[in-house]
Amino acid sequence: MTDAAVNDVSVDTRKSGRFLYGASVVFLCAWVIVPIYFLLINTLSSPETVNSFPKPFIPEFDFGSLQFFAGFSGMLTALKNSVIVALLTMIMSIIIGAPAGYALSRFDFPGKGLFRMLILLTRAFPLPLLALPLAVMFIQTGLDDTAFGLALVHTTLAIPFAVLITFSLFSGIPIELEEAAWTLGCTRLTAFTKVVLPLILPGITASAIFAFVISWNEVFAAAVLTIENRTLTAFLLQNLDTSPLHLKFAGGFILVVPALIFIFAVRKYLFAMWGIANR
Amino acid sequence: MAEIQIKNIAKSFGAFQALNDINLTIADQEFMVLLGASGCGKSTLLRIIAGLEVASSGEVWIGGKRIDHLSPKDRGIAMVFQNYAVFPHLTVFENIGFGLRMKKLPNDEVTRRVERVAGLMHIEMLLKRYSGELSGGQRQRVAVARALAMEPDVILMDEPLSNLDALLRMEMRAELKGVLAESKTTAIYVTHDQVEAMSMADRISVMHQGDIVQAASPIEVYRDPAAKFVASFIGNPPMNFLPAKPAGPSKWQVAGQTFDGPNTDKAVLQFAIRPEDMQPAEQGLVATAKIVEPLGAHLLVTCQIGDALFRVILDSDAVVKPGQSLTLAPQPDRVRWFDPDTTLAVA
Amino acid sequence: MNARILPYVLILPVTLFLCLFFIYPFVLVSQQAFQAADGGWSMENFQEVVEYWKFPISMKNTLLLAAIVVPVQLALALLMATMVSKMKKGRDMVLYIWTIPLGISDLAAGIIWLAIFEQSGFLNSMLHGIGVVDKPVNFLTYQNPWIVFLAIALAEIWRATAIMLVILVAGIGLIPKEYYEAADVFGASKWKQFTRITFPLLRPSLQTALVLRVILAFEIFAVVAALGGTLFPVLMGQTYSYQFDLLNSGAAAAMALIILGISIGFTLIILRILRVPKGASI
């Protein structure tokens, strides 16, 4: 065989390889997007269309389903509850988690390994199960069926992430910046507020949004711990058997929207967070 | 007046003893360089003076006031860091003015001082920029300006030039020396670069394994090393050593030659001479040339005397070939002697 | 403040919080599980849940789902991660799309796949469109247990591959490019580079990804509730129904401990198989 023939063959295989690669990327993108698109069609169709057959493959931009969703008794309250619980979770997990992340990144102290273990253990644990005993404890303390009570459980879910993410954020700020601030007349606190905080604020926001979504998406603990004040997930779960299709789909779509925004908002941090967090 | 006194400072990290009982006095307006290899404790000592590290024991005094219990902000010091530590979220102006703002100085005073030191460091045109838009050398200037703006009693510098490239380092070295002399502050400068130390220091403290081995003027450290460590650390290439045996009172025999030396009853000493303090002559140490390196300004010849390797610096016109035999005469007043047991110099 | 005390002050809130809402309830749930009706210690609760006719089937379903879903996700995530690591143009866009499911809850994912598999759903519409069926088929019934299983598995794979992808992409990002350049110089093929460099160096990330995924796989609940309802009992669903439909919290606690036990067991196995020799990490 001549050199030219060899080259031809390798060019051919390379071309088909590149085509296969491109096709796979497109296919995998479609695999993620198409199901969401189907949900979008259902959401933007009238209830009649949703229950009819065969389905159209383009949305008719009818807001009947969404109106039905908004008008369904208890749904808007559930939506409101979801937002309140998620906001509380977001605030608590950052306020409680960030100091620990700072301590892990800046200090070596006896017991650090043990503390890290505790955090990692929490992450590798089916936490929603712990909602069962907490249900009893909450009844005793009057926290049962409250947004705050549920937010406490969701904060437990979000805290290991908050600690590890803030740990990686703080580790990304050279300690010299803080030391420089100390020598320039700052206390530990003012050095933190004037130098560290402005630098990690975007990252803190990202991890706060992450906490929000963890709470927003949680189903089991929400279903166990709320009765009257259902969150959206708990409400949808409870009514899965009885509610009409168009209600499920509209509800599902409302659940998905924050996810789309969330992933877009934190996409810069997603990998940095995990790169260090899995050490 | 800002004389610095370091009294019996020791520091251990767990089982590791980083500093053993350091005592050092630095005069007002003196430029003191702490010189040593990495891990010798020089940065730890600087950080203890700055208050970024707490000593295990001992005291630090600045200007007659004991300050080792104060936080960094109350010590009257300013510091320049190896990686510059220029705040990325602030403009150059706000970086330089950061400490002044913390002191709550009035706006016009801040502007006046920032502009003065920016002029001094030739960065007036960068005041509106952020650190991301600056080169390494420019960041270094900002870091120094920020320290100077504080008008501190003492300025501490931790390897401030080591992240710059060679040419820039040489330029900044001279500039920094000038600016600091003018500012009349006491300065402590940590480096592992002996050229930097020699060129800038009023006095050099050579550190080794948590001790100060010698604290003296650059020329003294070079000419009269107090210990074998200093002799072999300073100078490039370092001093040559050969074993010496007694050959009568104040006479020592080195590689078959007899030299005048110290009058001690030691059974063995080490003869030491700098590579540039030897000349080819009719009479002297007989050496065999091994490697010949023409370096432009001079000729570096590595040769062998007995079992020992021996380096000489000759005039660049000298013609030496590997394998050739050389007879080298040491300049008598430059010969030094060390005790191999204590490693200290013997007069 | 004293630098010796400060770190402890900083970790105090988290520690207290986790003690109160993680360790304490864990102790409570264990107590409850081992408590008999008369208040004494016993295995009664465990006996009750294990002997219930739905237990073996829900155990089988949960394990089977994990056994199918997790390896597929791992393979898919590895494939996507290597594809993305070679990508130059459009990398951010592709990564954004691939990670969207990361933010989608299991309930929402179940509902999304319900839109495809339900009787008047998109799968039927497509099959109808190409003439395979005349009438919509009801896939999600007890007559088609394998289609129910398939729908649940697909929804899980669709939803939770992203979390593995993110961990693996981050892990691959930590591997220095020089290793691949060196391998190229020594003539290693792309496949060899993957098996000899990427895979071993990715072990810590694989550990994290697998542990996290396997634990979540045993917790599967809402996807099943949305797609299979009671057709496909799983452990977590049983726990839920003990608590709410049967109002038997002792049994629910016993179920919770069983799920915990399985999760911890598998975590240990994964950590053991993928352990990284000391000093061999990047």
* Chain A contact set for B88 (CB, 8 A): 177, 199
Sheet architecture: strand order including B154-158: B77-80, B154-158, B186-191, B31-35, B203-208, B211-216
Q: What is the mean pLDDT of residues A211-240?
A: 84
**For residue C237, pLDDT beyond 80:** yes
Binned at pLDDT 50, 70 and 90, residue A177 comes out as: very high
Number of domains in chain B: 2
pLDDT at A276: 46
Q: How close C14 gets to chain A, by Cα (Å)? A: 6
Residues B278 and B176 in one domain: no
pLDDT tens digits, residue range C99-151?
888 888 888 888 888 888 887 777 777 777 777 777 777 777 777 788 888 88
Residues B97 and B147 in one domain: yes
**For residue A274, pLDDT beyond 70:** no
To 5 degrees, how large is the angle CA A104–CA A108–CA A114? Answer: 65
Q: Contact, C220 vs C236, CB < 8 A?
A: yes
Alpha-carbon distances of B250 from B263, B265, B328, rounded to whole Å: 4, 10, 22
> For residue A187, what is the nearest residue in chain B, using CA coordinates?
B73
Residues B44 and B186 in one domain: yes
Three-state DSSP class for A42? helix
pLDDT at A8: 61
Neighbours of chain B (3+ CB pairs under 8 A): A
pLDDT tens digits, residue range B226-248?
999 999 999 989 999 999 999 88
- Give percent above pLDDT 90 in chain A: 18
> For residue B158, what is the nearest residue in chain A, using CA coordinates?
A176
From B185, B200, B233, the end of a domain falls on: B233
Q: How close C186 gets to chain A, by Cα (Å)? A: 20
Q: What is the CATH number of the domain that holds B312?
A: 2.40.50.140
CA C249 to chain centre: 25
pLDDT tens digits, residue range B257-274?
889 989 888 889 999 999
> For residue A198, what is the nearest residue in chain B, using CA coordinates?
B89
Look at B99 and A185 and tell me if their CB atoms are within 8 Å. yes
Ordered alpha helix ranges (H), chain B: 42-50, 92-96, 98-102, 107-120, 136-149, 166-183, 194-200, 218-223, 228-233
Residues B184 and B288 in one domain: no
- List residues of B whose CB lies inside 8 A of any A CB: 50-52, 71-73, 77-79, 81-83, 85, 87-89, 98-99, 102-103, 146, 150, 156
Residues B74 and B145 in one domain: yes
Residues B65 and B169 in one domain: yes
Neighbours of chain C (3+ CB pairs under 8 A): A
Residues B215 and B330 in one domain: no
* Chain C contact set for A128 (CB, 8 A): 219
Look at B51 and A182 and tell me if their CB atoms are within 8 Å. yes
User: Hey, which residues 138-197 in chain C have their CB within 8 Å of chain A?
Assistant: 158, 166-167, 169-171, 173-174
> For residue C162, what is the nearest residue in chain A, using CA coordinates?
A32
> For residue A178, what is the nearest residue in chain B, using CA coordinates?
B85
pLDDT tens digits, residue range B272-291?
999 999 988 888 899 999 99
β partners of residue B285: B328
| Nearest CB neighbour to C11, from listed A35, A55, A103 | A103
| Nearest CB neighbour to A259, from listed C24, C104, C221 | C104
Q: What is the mean pLDDT of residues A171-191?
A: 91
Nearest residue to C206 (alpha-carbon basis) of C259, C168, C180: C168
* Chain A contact set for C129 (CB, 8 A): 54
Q: Look at A164 and B208; give whichever has higher pLDDT.
A: B208
pLDDT at C278: 62
* Chain A contact set for B149 (CB, 8 A): none
pLDDT at A9: 60
Q: What is the CATH number of the domain that holds B44?
A: 3.40.50.300
Q: What is the mean pLDDT of residues C237-259?
A: 83
* Chain B contact set for A181 (CB, 8 A): 87, 98
Look at A132 and C11 and tell me if their CB atoms are within 8 Å. no
Sheet architecture: strand order including B345-346: B257-260, B251-254, B240-246, B269-273, B336-338, B345-346
Residues B40 and B146 in one domain: yes
The reply to whether C253 touches chain A by the CB within 8 Å rule is yes
pLDDT tens digits, residue range A69-86?
777 777 888 889 999 999
Integer-rounded Cα radius of gyration of chain A: 25
Q: Enumerate the domain spans of chain C.
A: 54-273
- List residues of A whose CB lies inside 8 A of any B CB: 174, 176-177, 179-187, 190, 194-195, 198-199
pLDDT at B42: 94
Q: What is the mean pLDDT of residues A200-225?
A: 85
Binned at pLDDT 50, 70 and 90, residue A272 comes out as: low
Q: What is the mean pLDDT of residues C76-100?
A: 86
| Nearest CB neighbour to C118, from listed A52, A133, A245 | A245
CATH class name, domain C54-273:
mainly alpha
Residues B10 and B69 in one domain: yes
Q: How far is it, in rounded angstroms, from Cα C197 to Cα B265? A: 64
Interface test with A, best of C1, C94, C100, C210 (most A CBs within 10 A): C100
Residues B55 and B101 in one domain: yes
Q: How far is it, in rounded angstroms, from Cα A106 to Cα A112? A: 11
Q: How close A191 gets to chain C, by Cα (Å)? A: 13
From B203, B233, B263, the end of a domain falls on: B233
What is the DSSP code string of B49-76?
HHTSS--SEEEEEETTEE-TTS-GGGTT
Look at A187 and B79 and tell me if their CB atoms are within 8 Å. no
Mean pLDDT of the residues in chain B: 92
Q: How many CA atoms lie within 13 A of B68 on its CB side?
A: 19
From B176, B198, B233, the end of a domain falls on: B233
Binned at pLDDT 50, 70 and 90, residue C279 comes out as: low
pLDDT at C206: 85
Q: What is the mean pLDDT of residues C176-184?
A: 85
Most confident segment among B153-162, C22-31, C121-130, C260-269:
B153-162
Q: How close B77 gets to chain A, by Cα (Å)? A: 7
pLDDT at C133: 75
Quote the domain boundaries for residue B273.
240-346
Q: How many CA atoms lie within 13 A of B5 on its CB side?
A: 10
**For residue B58, pLDDT beyond 90:** yes
pLDDT at B24: 95
pLDDT at B238: 92
Look at A182 and B98 and tell me if their CB atoms are within 8 Å. no
**For residue A279, pLDDT beyond 60:** no
pLDDT at A260: 82
Q: Contact, A165 vs A202, CB < 8 A?
A: no
Residues B52 and B67 in one domain: yes
Q: What is the mean pLDDT of residues A208-220?
A: 86
**For residue C13, pLDDT beyond 90:** yes
pTM of the model: 0.81
pLDDT at A278: 43
Bridging pattern class, strands B77-80 and B154-158? parallel
> For residue B146, what is the nearest residue in chain A, using CA coordinates?
A184
| Nearest CB neighbour to B52, from listed A174, A177, A182 | A182
pLDDT tens digits, residue range B122-148?
999 999 999 889 998 899 999 999 999
Residue B312 has φ and ψ, to the nearest 5°, of: -130, 145
- Considering only A19-23, A121-125, B198-202, B242-246, which range has the smallest mean pLDDT? A121-125
- Considering only A185-199, A214-228, B72-86, which range has the smallest mean pLDDT? A214-228
- Give percent above pLDDT 70 in chain A: 91
Bridging pattern class, strands B278-294 and B325-330? antiparallel
Q: Look at C281 and A141; give whichever has higher pLDDT.
A: A141
> For residue C2, what is the nearest residue in chain A, using CA coordinates?
A188
pLDDT at A118: 83
